[in-house]
């Protein structure tokens, strides 16, 4: 399954219909949330009765409202799973109008017309910029981002069953803050730090918004300016991450990454902003669907261990050079970490291949073969 994001250009009437659909879904969400706990079947049965008592719900496609039931049911299951694992949980909160920004057509109620427009039931044909061909569409999600509207189209595509993986085309990547990435082949990629560069305009826009009266026209204008700044930062970061992930997926078959616990790392408040600005999680997810094979390696002591002799060389974050007092190896600490990631990755891959055929399985296969052929080994 692949999701593709396309820009929508609705008319003024269609945009009002989008907003009304969002408000209708939000009303159903809050109504059902007030009557929890309910199963998904109970919520869908209640939805059928609501269409009789609340006639305005008939203006929306049935699948759109059913997906609200699915949304609540999925959130409740996630909360129960967290509670079962020992986490402290709260309750689902009511959705505000500024927080509810998407609705979903699932299985039916959508189509791409001959004149390359998106048709949605109860709304009609909407102008869309199709930058690629789509087929076998399973779901369409309409999303509002600031003043813009997007369609996220989910398609089922056929993928090759087998892929040839060349272990010689393997690389270990160490991500960081000073440098975004340093790989085992010695390539360095600087960290653009888009949020850090835009902090002053963001601060001014936030101050301007805080001084406006909430609900006024000037408040909405200031809010739009702030949304545009955040959108620019997000677009720049995604563009950078797409280009870097494309480079590695094109040139390497095996990619080894550190398995980082980013949420735990952000507890260091002096580094939290820089860590989140780097987008390591997004970079990893992009590599997983672009590259042939991506394997995560435990990040324990990758910067401390010497990549040549294995000697431990403790160092603080301020020390950027690895100097081994045993084998006299001197190199960049990020380069040393990338070499360790590559070595551990290849070692773990070798162990995985050995575990695929165990002595017990070999003995069992030989016994079955002797019984079939009548030859005693």
Pair 89, 183 in one domain: no
What does DSSP say about strands 148-155 and 2-9: parallel, antiparallel, or unpaired?
antiparallel
Q: Which of 155, 187, 204 is the last residue of a domain?
A: 155
127 and 258 co-located in one domain: no
Last residue of a domain, one of 155, 190, 213: 155
pLDDT band at 98 (very low <50, low <70, confident <90, very high): confident
Residue 169, pLDDT above cutoff 50: yes
Write out pLDDT tens, residues 53-95. 888 988 899 999 999 999 999 999 999 999 898 888 888 899 9
| Domain boundary residue, one of 106, 130, 155 | 155
361: in domain: no
Please tell me the predicted confidence (pLDDT) of residue 301.
Answer: 83
Do 251 and 176 lie in one domain? The reply is: yes
**In-domain check, residue 322:** yes
Identify whether residues 234 and 99 lie together within a single domain.
Answer: no
- Reported as type and span, the H/E element at residue 74 is helix 62-84
* Residue 246 within a domain: yes
What residue numbers bound the domain in which 217 lies? 170-355
Query: Same domain, yes or no, for 269 and 320?
Result: yes
Residue 306, both tokens: 């010497």
Collect all residues with Cβ–Cβ distance below 8 Å to 265 and sequence separation of at least 6.
271, 272, 275
SS3 125: strand
> Distance between terminal CA atoms of the chain?
49
Does 245 lie in the same domain as 139? no
Cβ proximity of 140 and 120 under 8 Å = yes
Residue 204 in domain? yes
223 falls within a domain: yes
Q: Do 117 and 196 share a domain, yes or no?
A: no
Any domain includes 374: no
Q: Evaluate the CA torsion angle 182, 183, 184, 187 in order and state its sign.
A: negative
Q: Does 135 lie in the same domain as 37?
A: yes
Residues 301 and 232 in one domain: yes
Longest dimension (CA), the chain: 91
Angle between helices 280-290 and 217-251 (to 10 degrees): 50
Residue 371 counted as domain residue? no
Assigned domain for 370 exists: no
Q: What is the overall mean pLDDT for the chain?
A: 86
- Please give the model's pTM, rounded to 2 decimal places: 0.77
Tally of structural domains, the chain: 2
> Residues with Cβ < 8 Å from 247, sequence gap 6 or more?
none
Please report the pLDDT score of residue 363 as a whole number.
47
Q: Is there a single domain that holds both residue 176 and residue 39?
A: no
Contact 110, 142 (CB under 8 A): no
Rounded to whole angstroms, the Cα distance separating 146 from 228 reads 7
- pLDDT at residue 372 in the model: 46
- φ/ψ of 31, rounded to 5, equals -65, -45
- The pLDDT of residue 99 is 86
Read off the DSSP letter of residue 317: T
Give yes or no: residues 135 and 232 share one domain.
no
Whether residue 35 is found in the same domain as residue 96:
yes
Query: For 329-341, what is each residue's pLDDT tens digit?
Result: 888 888 888 898 8
């Amino acid at each position: 399954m692949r999701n593709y994001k396309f820009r929508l250009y609705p008319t003024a009437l269609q945009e009002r219909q989008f907003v009304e659909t969002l408000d209708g879904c939000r009303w159903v969400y809050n109504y059902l949330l007030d009557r929890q706990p309910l199963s998904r079947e109970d919520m869908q049965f209640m939805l059928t009765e609501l269409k009789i008592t609340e006639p305005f719900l008939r203006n929306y496609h049935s699948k759109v409202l059913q997906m609200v039931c699915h949304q609540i049911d999925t959130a409740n299951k996630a909360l129960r799973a967290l509670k079962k694992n020992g986490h402290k949980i709260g309750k689902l909160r009511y959705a505000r109008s500024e927080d509810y920004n998407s609705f979903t057509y699932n299985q039916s109620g959508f189509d791409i017309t001959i004149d390359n427009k998106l048709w949605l039931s109860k709304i009609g044909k909407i102008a869309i910029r199709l930058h690629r061909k789509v087929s076998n569409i399973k779901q369409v999600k309409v999303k509002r981002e600031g003043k813009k509207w997007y369609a996220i189209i989910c398609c089922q595509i056929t993928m090759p069953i087998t892929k040839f993986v060349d272990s010689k085309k393997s690389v270990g990547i160490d991500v960081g803050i000073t440098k975004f990435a340093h790989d085992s082949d010695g390539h360095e990629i600087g960290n653009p730090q888009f949020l850090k560069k835009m902090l002053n305009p963001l601060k001014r826009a936030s101050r301007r918004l805080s001084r406006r009266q909430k609900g006024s026209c000037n408040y909405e204008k200031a809010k739009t300016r702030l949304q545009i700044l955040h959108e620019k930062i997000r677009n720049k970061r995604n563009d950078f991450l797409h280009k870097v992930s494309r480079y590695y997926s094109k040139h390497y078959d095996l990619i080894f990454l550190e398995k980082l616990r980013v949420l735990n790392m952000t507890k260091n408040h002096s580094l939290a902003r820089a860590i989140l600005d780097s987008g390591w999680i997004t970079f990893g997810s992009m590599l997983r669907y672009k590259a042939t094979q991506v394997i995560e390696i435990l990040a324990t002591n990758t910067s401390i261990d010497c990549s040549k002799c294995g000697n431990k060389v403790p160092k603080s974050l301020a020390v950027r050079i690895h100097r081994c007092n045993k084998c006299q190896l001197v190199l960049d600490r990020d380069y040393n970490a990338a070499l360790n990631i590559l070595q551990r990755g290849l070692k773990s891959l070798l162990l995985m291949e050995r575990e695929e055929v165990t002595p017990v399985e070999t003995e069992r296969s030989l016994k079955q073969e002797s019984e079939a052929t009548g030859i005693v080994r």
